[in-house]
Chain A
Amino acid sequence: MGCCYSTAMGCCYSFCKEDSGPQSGEVSERTHLLVDPVSNTTNILHVHSDDYVNHYASSVPKKTDEQSALNRILHETAANVIDIGALDSHNLEQHEYMDRSKAYSKRIETVGVKVPDISSCLLTDIPAPERILSTEPLPSADRQLIKDMLDKAVSALGDVKVEHKEDLVVPFLS
């Protein structure tokens, strides 16, 4: 099959060559508008069809080389790409989290590294919030206390006046 094909191609090439050969000087309907790159490479055109078959046969393993090269590129690309969708999402369970936290803090203790405490927060965490959350939101006594205090404070603030005692401007030389 390959043999027939290559022979036909060889004929075709030789035909073209013979055809275009004598007319190379003048312009006709058969003149190539573009310079044929193949006909410029003299090597192939002057090759005999048998030689061409050999040449073609020797180029067959090259084709598999190309295929394997493509495969190699494909594999390399696949190896370099991190497919996030295919990764298993590893969610830490609560006890796992605690275990790790314990392990890490133990390790830090043994090494003796002091982790700097950079959090200077106005509100701090409390160990057992349930006790505080379960208590009454605001005792009525406390509410009354602060309301009374503010009532008095507002009226007391209204009493604050500037008392005129002495002149602000004092003549130095009199």
Chain B
Amino acid sequence: MDFFSDFAEKFYDNFIKDDRWRYLTDGLMNTLLITLFAVIIGLLLGFIIAIIRATHDKTGKLKVLNLISKVYLTVIRGTPVVVQLLIIYFVIFASVNIDKLFVAVLAFGLNSAAYVAEIVRSGIMSVDKGQFEAGSSLGLGYNQTMITIILPQAFKNILPALANEFIVLLKETSVSGYIAIADLTKGGDIIRSQTYEAFMPLIAVALIYLVIVMFLTFLVGKLERRLAKNDKR
């Protein structure tokens, strides 16, 4: 009996009293917002880098852009995302008054782009080279072949890997608190600092992430099965 009344009391303290649950919902909103826009930046920039790299691998052109891309990938993938976030906020935008959410979107977007680029490039490389030759033999130029023949097939091959990258990204945004953004993780931490109670808020935060990730994983699985079915037609 003690346990339950204790639990109810703690639940009240941590979530109901002073509307503390709002730290979690507001935090979740920020987490989702950062993730969504970072995904968009990651996809756009990632695709561009991947096409530069694949074009270089296939034709030997775009040497300078390829070199820049390679340096970019090395730096981004070789350093922790928290450090990148801190550098962008405290070094690059040090003297500018700028929305912190924007900084986070930029940092996570630039970071994700590096991983998306390698996924997309592997997708382009996974398309049989006969497809490219077939396009060329019909007189289609490099860009036309890429856009109408290679990329649609590559995209289909990498959809599951891309989706997984975004699940990882969602969890990575939990370090946004380093630049004092009240994301989901920070929200739980604020509750902890007010109630001196760690268990409830932190477990709640973990559960929310878990549910979202499980839901996204479920969607990816469904997508994968549908794509596999299309192959068997």
Q: Do A and B assemble together?
A: no
